[in-house]
Structure 1
Amino acid sequence: MGIDAHKETMGFQTEVKQLLNLMINSLYSNKEIFLRELVSNAADAADKLRFEALSDDKLYEDDATLQINVDFDADARTVTVSDNGIGMTRQEVIENIGTIARSGTKAFFGKLTGDEAKDSQLIGQFGVGFYSAFIVADKVTLKTRRAGESADLGVIWESAGEGEFTIETIELPKRGTEITLHLREGEDEFLNGWRLRNIISKYSDHINLPIVMRKEPVPDEEGKVDDSVIEFETVNKATALWTLSKNDISDEQYNEFYKQVAHDFEDPLTWSHNKVEGNIEYTSLLYIPSRAPFDLWDRDRMHGIKLYVKRVFIMEDSEQLMPRYLRFIRGVIDTNDLPLNVSREILQSSKTIDTIRAASVKKVLSELTKMAENSPEQYSKFWQEFGQVIKEGPGEDFANKETLAKLIRFASTESGNAEQTVSLADYVSRMQEKQDKIYYITAESFAAAKNSPHLEVFRKKGIEVLLLTDRVDEWLVNSLTDFDGKHLQSVAKGDLDLGELEDEDEKKAHEAVEKDFEGLVERVKTTLGDKVKEVRITHRLTDSPACLVADHYDMSGNLERMLKAAGQQVQTSKPILELNPEHPMVVKLNDENSEDKFADWTSILFDQALLAEGGQLDDPASFVKKLNAMLLQQA
């Protein structure tokens, strides 16, 4: 034996301790899922062996028949799940079981509430895997040896799930993994062959390799059982679900298969099962989850789609099979048109994969379009979970931009609440007769958008404005600039041009007012100096004295603040100050002869406008001092 043969006691990673404690307490009402998780892991181990053996068939060690065994011992009160898959080395056991080495773990634990019902749903999204064994067991023993390693490099791992584990190198003749659960008091229901068969049938029927159990002995005519004869039987269909005809698969089977591949507790929202024949042949079974996974915003985590070639599992990697904005899709794609030894590098330049990906994306978007048209309540549920991710789409998927534009939903001044239910088609259908633009505003919150002074003239004229308050919206409007021949126009950028929504008399009146206030505009610009790019009279305000707007090609104030908050270096662009000539404060400013008072009033107007659009003052104390002085003068 090597230097690692000694027995070690090691501590779990802190997150593992938390997860074990949560599962034991939160998932007790759904404890039977431990068997689904362990069987699923065993199937993954067999898939990995199949794949590695493509380039090294010695890994099979003269036994290429892969299967999973489930057994129980009523006297010892144990349940055992074993496989002859890839197995693990000592270091792999430590890395895979002692720690949770997945991105987003910290964010996951940050979302836990202490409410057992809510936390159990979140744990379901995280995926419990091996640790689910501790829901029913007070001690778990794992024996494993990696395929291709010598028999003296087997490993035994054991833990009571209370903060530490022991690990030791042992002699193990056969490759694979055996997990023995020493059941807690009160868990005797799992020491029953019929109960275990029922769970396997419910959750794991379509694992695509045999799940084998001992046959239940049948008593003879005298009621005696012959214990000397032990027979085994396959208790699942052992047929990959996606290879069956849709007519032969029930909704319940589709739902359970989803829970197996996605490690989710809830049923999916919908799915698409397709067999494509022609120049390229493949089968896809793609699911849209009903709830966002905990790591949805980790754009680098691209698992979710399992790629099979000729029913042999190759890899789980969504990046080549789905764009990032559809990273929540789960399922399988199986094709005969790729080599079995395909690598990620080959996938990147594969025309076959490009074709499959393009068709799969269109299929998902087609399902979403049908849902939006035929089941608006279901689509609303989808949008609440995944809407912000779909908004990434137009910027990265030019080919499907038009379809995505129809799927996107917004809040608006018409809907009156923060729910994003308004489509661009809805907006266009309500546009005024002479309106040629789709108007929107971006802000940090719904309240800030709804109450923005930039909306005042639009309210006066009854023009609907979309209220964009998701962080991703700033990027969305940079890529989605038109819809149905109508340009999307920010109400807070550029000079306000309502086109034919203003009649000639209004335009002439505006020009006359601008001429009357030319002197004030120059005085204000001189006073503010390099704080502003320009000062001008506006007709977009009805109640507020002033507002700030970005120049047409400049970054919006909201985007600038977001980037700065994220720690990015931003080249600040100067805003344009617009004054409302009908507001009493602006009229008073125009009549002010004292240069000191004029400067203070001008400074207050600018700072108020900055605050109204969500900005921060460079010198808030000075603003308060000047405002208080003005208030005392008026008292």
Structure 2
Amino acid sequence: MTTDTVTAPETRAFEADVSKLLHMMVHSVYSDRDVFLRELISNAADACEKLRYEAISNPALLGDDPQARISLTLDKEAGTLVIEDNGIGMTAADMAETLGTIARSGTKAFMDKLAADKDGEGQQLIGQFGVGFYSAFMVAGKVEVVSRRAGEADAATWSSDGLGTYTIAPADPEAAPARGTRVTLHLLDDAKTYAERYTVERIVKAQSGHVPVPIFLHEAGSADEPRQVADGIALWTRAKSDISEDDYADFYRSVAGQFDKPALTLHYRAEGRHEYSVLTFIPETKPFDLFDPDRKGRIKLYVRRVFITDEAEILPRYLRFVRGLVDSADLALNMSREMIQDSPVLSAIQKGVSNRILSELAKLAASDPERYAAIWENFGPVIKEGLYEDYERRDQLLGLARFKSTTSNGTWRSLKDYMGSLKENQTAIYYATGNDLDRIAQSPQIEGFKARGIEVLLLPDQVDSFWTTMGVDYEGKPFKSVTQGAADLSLIPLAEGSSSAAAPSEEASSFIAFAKDALADHVSDVRISDRLTSSAVCIVAAENAMDLQLEKMLASAGRAPERAKPVLEVNAGHALIAKLGQVGDDDDGRRDIAFLLLDEARIAEGDPPADPRAFAERLERLMTRALG
């Protein structure tokens, strides 16, 4: 065929191993059948954009129908779905070229043409690889395409069952579109729902509601006028001054699937080397999937206002609570719009959007601390995952972090606030981890710090036990656990009104030496503590051992080696310790007391005694002696 006019029906084979390629398209490339409608609407939108471009030099192509549109017609009785546009249209030769050859894209050729034309910059063309059309065979047993190119008199029909051949024939000019393309899908038995208004309207709004062409929906046999289901104006392309808070809130609810309001809205357009638009929201309440083990993000990716996927990793996982979208003008795609390439463009978008969200959070923290505190209350535990995972942005995240502490009276404190309250000779930022804020605040290991007015950060989230082990520091001060190693508080003076610990008596010193011997199989050391003021004993991790809370977490998950022996610290000034000399030379009694003190320290940590039965027997013997 060398002319654009087909004089008789002609059956041809696809210019590819279509039986294999179509099977791949239907069963491998696309994971969701709904995408066929997105692909066909994208093709229709491309056709309208092509016409708009060509009409710049040849306005006559628009005729008396200048307004681009896409029409969807549903016929439940016939089991058909029709997608029609009034775009550039195709000749018979165009059909053979674009629909008869899989993976040959007229749009790509058109973009190549634009690349040589400086006036063609910025055209919003979506399809690039010419395979999306064939996704129609996921839902249709037969596909018919009737088209007339703008400015031409003749029309042609392309038809195929997708099994290896297609037919091109002349079309009745009276029955063909005046301009543009009509695609009729004869739906498979298990795809009849695609002829129902609710199903189609839902898909259009979810996946193609923001293409740059209005979309109308009509049900065959209905006397009602076609109803507009998409206005062709993407919210994120409008000026921020033209968008109300209610508009943003409605859009947020539709894109996030939630019923609250956004706590923070970020809307901007990046220009320069890469151009893309961003409209993201931080929810007012925690999404139900915030702690999903897969930790997937929920940012939708669009290319030129056409939905591509909501599984692209636009943001790091610790920002997975952010909802919204990114619309790129120049992101490279591979053969399916669902599978984007790992390209420098995508990397630039990921970096740019992530940094912008963090900088906006920093601005909010400075300008409206109460609003920021509400966001941190909801999402702080997730953001802190970045302290463990994102070394590049760790300093930025430390600036965003907020903590409750022994001096904050239940309010949030920043590390900048903490640094402002450092005590003389204080060389570290002290913290305590655990599962419950109140229990951490009552930990015996904190007593000596309180006595000196040293602020201790209270860290109740599981992730706290991990990021604090990564060698993190803030303004040169390392983070140090109050339950690990020696406290080394002797150089920091006591607060006014606090008394120093008394020196141990000779009898108490003798008992401590005895306990070190008796407990040698259970602890690495028994020593006098300068971190205790009111409790008799506590346990801490050795200097180079794993922090107690982290060790406990890993052990409970079966992921830790044999637990290291802790250190038992004794408050030499405690009344109980002072009276231990009264036990005399009864080694069995002293051994019972030593083990009971160790179990007391374990219980204070929220752990059971190492041997509950032995604990009960020792306690019973001690009470018998006391009463005897």
TM-score in terms of structure 2 length: 0.66
Q: Give distance in 2, aligned partners of 1:173 and 1:609.
A: 67
Partner in structure 2 of residue 604 of structure 1: 596
Using the TM superposition, give the Cα deviation of residue 362 of structure 1 relative to its aligned residue in structure 2, in angstroms.
Answer: 0.9
Q: Give distance in 1, aligned partners of 2:290 and 2:375.
A: 14
Aligned residues: 472
1:245 aligns with 2:239: yes
CA contact (8 A) 1:82 1:179 kept: no
AA aligned opposite 1:482:
D
Q: 1:359 aligns with which of 335, 352, 356?
A: 352
Partner in structure 2 of residue 326 of structure 1: 319
1:287 aligns with 2:278: no
Q: 2:196 aligns with which of 153, 157, 179?
A: 179
Go from structure 1 to structure 2 and tell me whether the alpha carbon gap of 1:521 and 1:238 turns closer, same or farther (over 3 Å shift).
Answer: same
Partner in structure 1 of residue 572 of structure 2: 581
Using the TM superposition, give the Cα deviation of residue 587 of structure 1 relative to its aligned residue in structure 2, in angstroms.
Answer: 2.4
Q: Give distance in 2, aligned partners of 1:617 and 1:293.
A: 39
Go from structure 1 to structure 2 and tell me whether the alpha carbon gap of 1:427 and 1:344 turns closer, same or farther (over 3 Å shift).
Answer: farther
Partner in structure 2 of residue 59 of structure 1: none
Moved more, 587-596 or 465-474: 587-596
Using the TM superposition, give the Cα deviation of residue 391 of structure 1 relative to its aligned residue in structure 2, in angstroms.
Answer: 1.0
Go from structure 1 to structure 2 and tell me whether the alpha carbon gap of 1:444 and 1:240 turns closer, same or farther (over 3 Å shift).
Answer: same
Residue by residue over 1:393-417, the C-alpha shift from the partner in whole angstroms, topping out at 9 and shown as x without a partner, is: 1111112111111211222111334
Q: 2:216 aligns with which of 204, 209, 212?
A: 212
CA contact (8 A) 2:69 2:216 kept: no
Using the TM superposition, give the Cα deviation of residue 210 of structure 1 relative to its aligned residue in structure 2, in angstroms.
Answer: 3.4
Partner in structure 1 of residue 112 of structure 2: none
CA contact (8 A) 2:278 2:327 kept: yes
1:572 aligns with 2:556: no
Equivalences for 1:213-612 in 2 at 5 Å? 231-232=225-226, 234=228, 236-319=230-313, 321-341=314-334, 349-417=342-410, 421-479=412-470, 481-498=472-489, 500-502=491-493, 519-590=510-581, 592=583, 593-612=585-604
AA aligned opposite 1:484:
E
Higher radius of gyration, 1 or 2: 2
Q: Give distance in 1, aligned partners of 2:573 and 2:308.
A: 70
Residue by residue over 1:365-419, the C-alpha shift from the partner in whole angstroms, topping out at 9 and shown as x without a partner, is: 11211222222222222122211101101111112111111211222111334x6
Partner in structure 2 of residue 613 of structure 1: 605
Go from structure 1 to structure 2 and tell me whether the alpha carbon gap of 1:526 and 1:459 turns closer, same or farther (over 3 Å shift).
Answer: same
Q: Give distance in 2, aligned partners of 1:544 and 1:290.
A: 42
Partner in structure 1 of residue 100 of structure 2: none
Go from structure 1 to structure 2 and tell me whether the alpha carbon gap of 1:83 and 1:363 turns closer, same or farther (over 3 Å shift).
Answer: farther
SS at match of 1:410: strand
Moved more, 427-436 or 528-537: 427-436
AA aligned opposite 2:571:
N
Q: Give distance in 1, aligned partners of 2:309 and 2:212.
A: 16
CA contact (8 A) 2:334 2:340 kept: no
Go from structure 1 to structure 2 and tell me whether the alpha carbon gap of 1:236 and 1:314 turns closer, same or farther (over 3 Å shift).
Answer: closer
Q: Give distance in 2, aligned partners of 1:44 and 1:262.
A: 20
Equivalences for 1:191-206 in 2 at 5 Å? none
AA aligned opposite 1:376:
P
Equivalences for 1:621-632 in 2 at 5 Å? 621-632=613-624
Go from structure 1 to structure 2 and tell me whether the alpha carbon gap of 1:530 and 1:230 turns closer, same or farther (over 3 Å shift).
Answer: closer
Using the TM superposition, give the Cα deviation of residue 171 of structure 1 relative to its aligned residue in structure 2, in angstroms.
Answer: 5.8
CA contact (8 A) 2:71 2:217 kept: no
Q: Give distance in 2, aligned partners of 1:416 and 1:435.
A: 22
Q: Give distance in 2, aligned partners of 1:481 and 1:415.
A: 22
AA aligned opposite 2:607:
G
SS at match of 1:283: strand
Q: Give distance in 2, aligned partners of 1:364 and 1:533.
A: 47
Residue by residue over 1:44-64, the C-alpha shift from the partner in whole angstroms, topping out at 9 and shown as x without a partner, is: 66335568999xxxxxxxxx9
Using the TM superposition, give the Cα deviation of residue 625 of structure 1 relative to its aligned residue in structure 2, in angstroms.
Answer: 2.7
TM-score in terms of structure 1 length: 0.65
Using the TM superposition, give the Cα deviation of residue 361 of structure 1 relative to its aligned residue in structure 2, in angstroms.
Answer: 0.7
CA contact (8 A) 1:455 1:491 kept: yes
Gaps in structure 2 of 5+ consecutive residues? 1-31, 46-67, 85-135, 144-159, 162-185, 495-499
CA contact (8 A) 2:142 2:187 kept: no
Using the TM superposition, give the Cα deviation of residue 628 of structure 1 relative to its aligned residue in structure 2, in angstroms.
Answer: 3.2
Q: Give distance in 2, aligned partners of 1:337 and 1:207.
A: 16
Gaps in structure 1 of 5+ consecutive residues? 1-40, 55-63, 74-80, 86-143, 154-168, 183-195, 216-226, 504-508
SS at match of 2:393: helix
Q: Give distance in 2, aligned partners of 1:492 and 1:620.
A: 24
Equivalences for 1:138-177 in 2 at 5 Å? 146-147=138-139, 149-150=141-142, 177=194
Moved more, 489-498 or 341-350: 341-350
Partner in structure 1 of residue 626 of structure 2: 634
Using the TM superposition, give the Cα deviation of residue 534 of structure 1 relative to its aligned residue in structure 2, in angstroms.
Answer: 1.4
Using the TM superposition, give the Cα deviation of residue 566 of structure 1 relative to its aligned residue in structure 2, in angstroms.
Answer: 2.6
Partner in structure 1 of residue 119 of structure 2: none
CA contact (8 A) 1:395 1:476 kept: yes
CA contact (8 A) 1:285 1:331 kept: yes
Go from structure 1 to structure 2 and tell me whether the alpha carbon gap of 1:170 and 1:484 turns closer, same or farther (over 3 Å shift).
Answer: closer
CA contact (8 A) 1:537 1:581 kept: yes
Using the TM superposition, give the Cα deviation of residue 435 of structure 1 relative to its aligned residue in structure 2, in angstroms.
Answer: 2.7
SS at match of 1:273: strand
AA aligned opposite 1:540:
R
AA aligned opposite 1:603:
F
Residue by residue over 1:73-102, the C-alpha shift from the partner in whole angstroms, topping out at 9 and shown as x without a partner, is: 9xxxxxxx98859xxxxxxxxxxxxxxxxx
AA aligned opposite 1:395:
Y
Q: Give distance in 1, aligned partners of 2:470 and 2:432.
A: 15
Go from structure 1 to structure 2 and tell me whether the alpha carbon gap of 1:591 and 1:407 turns closer, same or farther (over 3 Å shift).
Answer: same
CA contact (8 A) 1:84 1:175 kept: no
SS at match of 1:578: strand
Using the TM superposition, give the Cα deviation of residue 555 of structure 1 relative to its aligned residue in structure 2, in angstroms.
Answer: 1.6
Go from structure 1 to structure 2 and tell me whether the alpha carbon gap of 1:371 and 1:228 turns closer, same or farther (over 3 Å shift).
Answer: closer
Q: Give distance in 2, aligned partners of 1:83 and 1:371.
A: 49
Partner in structure 2 of residue 57 of structure 1: none
Using the TM superposition, give the Cα deviation of residue 501 of structure 1 relative to its aligned residue in structure 2, in angstroms.
Answer: 0.9
Q: Give distance in 1, aligned partners of 2:442 and 2:222.
A: 82
Moved more, 585-594 or 523-532: 585-594
Q: Give distance in 1, aligned partners of 2:43 and 2:593.
A: 75
Go from structure 1 to structure 2 and tell me whether the alpha carbon gap of 1:66 and 1:626 turns closer, same or farther (over 3 Å shift).
Answer: farther
SS at match of 1:398: coil
CA contact (8 A) 1:299 1:324 kept: no
AA aligned opposite 2:347:
D
AA aligned opposite 2:271:
E
Q: Give distance in 2, aligned partners of 1:344 and 1:577.
A: 61
AA aligned opposite 1:397:
D
Go from structure 1 to structure 2 and tell me whether the alpha carbon gap of 1:522 and 1:234 turns closer, same or farther (over 3 Å shift).
Answer: same
Using the TM superposition, give the Cα deviation of residue 252 of structure 1 relative to its aligned residue in structure 2, in angstroms.
Answer: 2.0
Go from structure 1 to structure 2 and tell me whether the alpha carbon gap of 1:177 and 1:564 turns closer, same or farther (over 3 Å shift).
Answer: same
